């Protein structure tokens, strides 16, 4: 048993490089902040949802930007400027993480600022925000592997990848199980209602002719439940792991493009690539061979 | 390294157990009458079990704390157990003219939909409903100083099922109803809201 656990968690398995994983998370964090930056005013005392309203939904041990407004105000820095400074610090921290400058310190700072941002905007937060917090937490674990020597670093990185892989299995399993408890994920209406309530009018118009073929909606619904419920098995089975990964990536791409949940779709794609990206052959086709063939034909 | 391995393996195990408890216990949210009646028999049995399941208080507190700090506190049952056949949006009007919320980015528009969904699920909770409306209205009054009154309309969209669409064609129900009127307090604080009717 000890050997199995040891092999599963710490064996130096094939994974994507630790530096690439960290860079992916950092780049996503920067992009996510830049996207929301023009609307930063929605937080705080003069925002859409006042700090006092937000405070009703969070606990005292959850840090919020409100904690910093008063001391900064004492220094003559306004609320909006304080928010902007925190967001700039977040971007700088992730740049430092990206370029490998004091990674552990800046990974911790970036996680803390994002966590504070989510707590300060509780009623506005959704899946993408929570998965970003989780990924910044995992990023901190990735960065901590730099404390070890190079041999142990690989071993620790393998552990974090396993941690992420198993966490994803739990996430998908419960997502699938939740859908399997209802009714309309079995009769095809779930996807039909998603199209109606969450996609553009052009997508709805394209879907209307398919009403006469309800089996199309049923197959998508059944496929989603099966893929999510069986993900923990399929992703670890040699014969099915590649196709499972492609199908999950396709599912998140569809969520991003059709439902316009861009950041959610993107973060889920990136998490899957970090966890299982080594199943995909990323090498570019060998152009040299092609040119040789062309010369032969000529 | 042996000790570190043992610590990490223990942490790994604790994380899995906590996430499984969190995932399972989150199904107890489906216990309300409306959701429960729309579960299949197997779903009803699972939800009953999830509702009966009780962890010791100390473990519950620890799971709550750990899940908040790791961003896993909202559970994993997205679009579950069913997808709603209706959608309610909020529109702010003044003197018959729609007041656009200053949402510059697509991301904030999406975040506003999350707020909207929270508002809809608390539509019968007078206190929560009024607090949210007062906050948004105060924001609108600050950005539109010439306004004195806001009318909050609910845009109700109800979509036909696949079967109904097949039988009578695709027709979705759409109705806009005046839900609340909000007036600004001009006396003391320019941006505060005095009443919601």
3-state per-residue secondary structure call for A65-117:
CHHHHHHHHHCCCCHHHHHHHHHHHHHHHHHHHHCCCCHHHHHHHHHHHHHHH
Q: Which of B68, B78, B139 lies nearest to residue A127, judging by beta carbons? A: B78
Which residue(s) pair with B186 in the sheet?
A: none
Q: Are residues A156 and A102 in the same domain?
A: no
**Residue B190 has what pLDDT?**
40
pTM above 0.80, yes or no: yes
Structure token digits, residue A149: 């020597």
Which residue(s) pair with B97 in the sheet?
A: B94
Nearest CA in chain A to B44: A181
Q: Are residues A135 and A195 in the same domain?
A: no
**Residue A7 has what pLDDT?**
85
Spell out which residues of chain A touch residue B19, defining contact as CB-CB under 8 Å. Answer: 167, 170
Asked if A126 and B24 come within 8 Å (Cβ–Cβ), the reply is: no
Complex confidence, ipTM: 0.90
Q: Structurally, how many domains does chain A consist of?
A: 2
- Tell the residue number behind the tokens 């064609």, with chain if given: B169
Cβ–Cβ under 8 Å, residues B141 and B193: yes
Radius of gyration (Cα) for chain A, nearest Å? 23
In angstroms, rounded to a whole number, what is the distance separating the alpha carbons of residues A54 and B103? 19
Other Cβ atoms less than 10 A from the Cβ of A17: the count is: 11
Residue B20 has pLDDT above 50, yes or no: yes
Residue A229 CA, chain-centre distance (Å), reads 19
Residue A14 has pLDDT above 50, yes or no: yes
Q: Assess if residue A6 is contained within a domain.
A: no
Asked if B12 and A163 come within 8 Å (Cβ–Cβ), the reply is: yes
Other Cβ atoms less than 10 A from the Cβ of B113: the count is: 17
Asked if B159 and A196 come within 8 Å (Cβ–Cβ), the reply is: yes
What are the residue ranges spanned by the domains of chain B? 2-70, 86-196
Mean pLDDT over A222-237 rounds to 97
Nearest CA in chain B to A215: B162
Asked if A36 and B105 come within 8 Å (Cβ–Cβ), the reply is: yes
Cα separation of the two ends of chain A: 61
Cβ–Cβ under 8 Å, residues A40 and A85: no
Spell out which residues of chain B touch residue A184, defining contact as CB-CB under 8 Å. Answer: 82-83
Spell out which residues of chain B touch residue A124, defining contact as CB-CB under 8 Å. Answer: 108, 111-112, 114-115
Asked if B108 and A42 come within 8 Å (Cβ–Cβ), the reply is: yes
**Residue A89 has what pLDDT?**
97
In angstroms, rounded to a whole number, what is the distance separating the alpha carbons of residues A54 and B132? 10
Answer with the one of A147, A172, A192 that is the final residue of a domain. Answer: A147
| Alpha-carbon distances, residue A50 vs A44, B76, B101, B138 (angstroms) | 6, 28, 15, 9
In angstroms, rounded to a whole number, what is the distance separating the alpha carbons of residues A75 and A54? 25
Spell out which residues of chain A touch residue B75, defining contact as CB-CB under 8 Å. Answer: 174
Q: What is the pLDDT of residues B86-134, one digit of tens each?
A: 888 889 998 888 988 888 899 999 999 888 888 888 877 888 888 888 8
Residue A284 has pLDDT above 90, yes or no: no
Residue A292 has pLDDT above 80, yes or no: no
**Residue A58 has what pLDDT?**
92
Average pLDDT over chain A reads 91
Q: Are residues A166 and A275 in the same domain?
A: yes
Residue A294 has pLDDT above 60, yes or no: no
Cβ–Cβ under 8 Å, residues A80 and A8: no
Other Cβ atoms less than 10 A from the Cβ of B32: the count is: 10
Spell out which residues of chain B touch residue A162, defining contact as CB-CB under 8 Å. Answer: 12
Q: Assess if residue A108 is contained within a domain.
A: yes
Q: Assess if residue A167 is contained within a domain.
A: yes
Asked if A170 and B12 come within 8 Å (Cβ–Cβ), the reply is: no
Radius of gyration (Cα) for chain B, nearest Å? 23
Cα-flanking dihedrals φ and ψ of residue B76, to 5°? -125, 10
Mutation to test the B interface, candidates A52, A61, A193, most B Cβ within 10 Å: A193
In angstroms, rounded to a whole number, what is the distance separating the alpha carbons of residues B196 and B52? 40
Q: What is the pLDDT of residues B136-174, one digit of tens each?
A: 888 888 888 888 888 988 888 999 999 999 998 888 889
**Residue B192 has what pLDDT?**
54
A215, containing H or E segment? helix A214-234
Asked if B71 and A59 come within 8 Å (Cβ–Cβ), the reply is: no
Q: Assess if residue A164 is contained within a domain.
A: yes
Q: Assess if residue A199 is contained within a domain.
A: yes
Asked if A181 and B43 come within 8 Å (Cβ–Cβ), the reply is: yes
Asked if A166 and B114 come within 8 Å (Cβ–Cβ), the reply is: no
Instruction: Express as a percent the part of chain B with pLDDT over 70.
Output: 94
Q: Are residues A256 and A176 in the same domain?
A: yes
Other Cβ atoms less than 10 A from the Cβ of A169: the count is: 19
Looking at CA atoms only, how far is residue B1 from chain A in angstroms?
Answer: 8
> For A1-5, A17-21, A36-40, A288-292, which range has the lowest pLDDT when averaged over its residues?
A288-292
Spell out which residues of chain B touch residue A125, defining contact as CB-CB under 8 Å. Answer: 111, 114
Q: Which structural domain range is residue A208 located in?
A: 149-280
The secondary structure of B95-138 as a DSSP string is: TTEE------SHHHHHHHHHHHHHHHHTTT-HHHHHHHHHHHHH
Q: Are residues A182 and A200 in the same domain?
A: yes
């Amino acid at each position: 048993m000890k050997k199995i656990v040891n092999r599963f968690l710490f064996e130096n398995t094939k994974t994507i490089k630790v530096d690439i994983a960290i860079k992916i998370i950092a780049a996503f964090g920067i992009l996510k902040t830049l996207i929301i930056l023009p609307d930063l005013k929605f937080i705080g005392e003069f925002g859409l949802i006042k700090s006092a309203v937000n405070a009703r939904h969070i606990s005292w041990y959850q840090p919020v930007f409100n904690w910093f407004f008063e001391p900064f105000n004492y220094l003559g820095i306004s609320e909006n400027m304080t928010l902007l400074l925190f967001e700039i610090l977040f971007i700088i921290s992730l740049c430092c993480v990206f370029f490998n400058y004091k990674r552990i310190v800046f990974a911790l700072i970036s996680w803390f600022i994002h966590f504070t941002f989510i707590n300060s905007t509780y009623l506005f937060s959704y899946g993408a925000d929570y998965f970003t917090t989780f990924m910044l937490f995992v990023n901190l674990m990735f960065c901590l592997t730099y404390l070890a020597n190079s041999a142990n670093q690989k071993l620790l990185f393998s552990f974090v990848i396993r941690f992420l892989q198993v966490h994803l299995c739990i996430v998908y399993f419960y997502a699938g199980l939740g859908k399997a408890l209802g009714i309309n994920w079995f009769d095809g209406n779930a996807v039909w209602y998603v199209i109606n309530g969450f996609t553009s009018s052009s997508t709805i118009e394209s879907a209307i002719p398919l009403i006469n073929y309800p089996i199309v909606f049923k197959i998508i619904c059944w496929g989603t439940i099966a893929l999510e419920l069986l993900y923990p098995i399929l992703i670890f089975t040699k014969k099915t792991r590649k196709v499972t990964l492609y199908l999950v990536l396709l599912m998140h791409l569809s969520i991003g493009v059709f439902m316009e949940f861009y950041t959610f779709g993107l973060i889920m794609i990136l998490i899957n690539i970090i966890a299982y990206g080594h199943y995909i052959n990323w090498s570019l086709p060998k152009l040299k061979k092609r040119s040789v063939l062309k010369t032969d034909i000529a | 390294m042996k000790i570190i391995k043992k610590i990490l393996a223990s942490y790994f195990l604790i994380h899995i157990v906590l996430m499984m408890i969190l995932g399972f216990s989150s199904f107890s949210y489906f216990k309300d009458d409306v959701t429960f009646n729309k579960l299949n028999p197997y779903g009803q049995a699972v939800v009953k079990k999830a509702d009966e399941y009780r962890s010791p208080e100390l473990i519950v507190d620890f799971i709550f704390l750990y899940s908040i700090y790791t961003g896993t506190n909202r559970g994993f049952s997205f679009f579950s157990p069913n997808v709603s056949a209706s959608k309610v949006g909020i529109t702010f009007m003044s003197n018959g003219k729609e007041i656009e919320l200053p949402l510059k980015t697509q991301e904030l528009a999406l975040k506003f939909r999350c707020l909207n969904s929270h508002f809809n699920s608390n539509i019968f909770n007078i206190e929560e409903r009024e607090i949210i409306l007062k906050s948004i209205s105060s924001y609108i009054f600050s950005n539109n100083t010439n306004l004195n009154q806001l009318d909050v309309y609910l845009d109700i969209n109800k979509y036909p099922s696949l079967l109904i669409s097949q039988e009578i064609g695709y027709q979705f129900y759409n109705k806009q109803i005046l839900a609340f009127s909000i007036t600004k307090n001009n006396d003391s604080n320019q941006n505060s809201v005095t009443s919601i009717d």
